[in-house]
Structure 1
Amino acid sequence: MDLRELQAVLFDMDGTLVTSDASVERAWTTWASEYGVSAAEVLSQAHGAPAESTVDRMLPGFDEVARSTAAARQLELQYDDLSDVVAAPGAFEVLAALDGLPWAVVTSADLRLAKARLGAAGIDPPLLVTIEDISRGKPDPEGYLRAAELLDVDPQYCLVVEDAEVGLAAGRAAGARTAALKGLDGDFKLRDLHDLVTLLNRSLLNRSGE
Structure 2
Amino acid sequence: MPEPTELEHYEAFLLDLDGVLTPTVELHMRAWRELFEDVFAEHGLAPYREDDYFLHLDGRPRFAGVDALMRDRGIALDWGSENDPPEAWTVCGIGNRKNATFTEILRVDGIEPYPGSVRLVDWLAQAGVKLAVVSSSRNAEAVLAAAGLRERFPVVLDGRSSQELGLRGKPEADTYLRAAELLGVDPSRAVVVEDAVSGVAAGAAGDFGLIIGVDRGAGHDALRAAGAHLTVTDLADLLP
Work out whether the TM-score is over 0.5: yes
Higher RCO structure, 1 or 2 (CA under 8 Å, sep 6+): 1
Match for 1:109 among 131, 137, 158?
137
Normalised TM-score (structure 1): 0.87
Match for 1:44 among 41, 51, 54?
54
1:44-68 deviations in Å (ceiling 9; x for gaps): 3212221122211122311121112
Q: Which residue of 1 aligns with 2:93?
A: 69
SS at match of 2:180: helix
Q: Which residue of 2 aligns with 1:207?
A: none
Matches within 5 A, 1:7-156: 7-36=11-40, 37=45, 38-40=47-49, 41-45=51-55, 46-60=57-71, 61-65=76-80, 66-82=90-106, 83=109, 85-98=111-124, 99-110=127-138, 113-124=139-150, 125-134=153-162, 135-156=167-188
SS at match of 1:48: coil
Query: What is the Cα-based RMSD across aligned positions, in Å?
Result: 1.6
CA distance in 2, matches of 1:196, 1:81: 31
Q: State the shift of 1:191 in Å.
A: 2.3
SS at match of 1:64: coil
CA distance in 1, matches of 2:70, 2:23: 28
Structure 2 runs not aligned, ≥5 long: 81-89
CA distance in 1, matches of 2:147, 2:238: 19
Q: Is the contact made by 1:50 and 1:137 (CA closer than 8 Å) also made in structure 2?
A: yes
Ranges of 4+ aligned residues in structure 1 off by more than 4 Å = none
Q: Is the contact made by 2:112 and 2:147 (CA closer than 8 Å) also made in structure 1?
A: yes
For these two proteins, the number of residue pairs brought into alignment is 196
Normalised TM-score (structure 2): 0.76
CA distance in 2, matches of 1:121, 1:128: 14
One-letter amino acid matched to 1:10: L
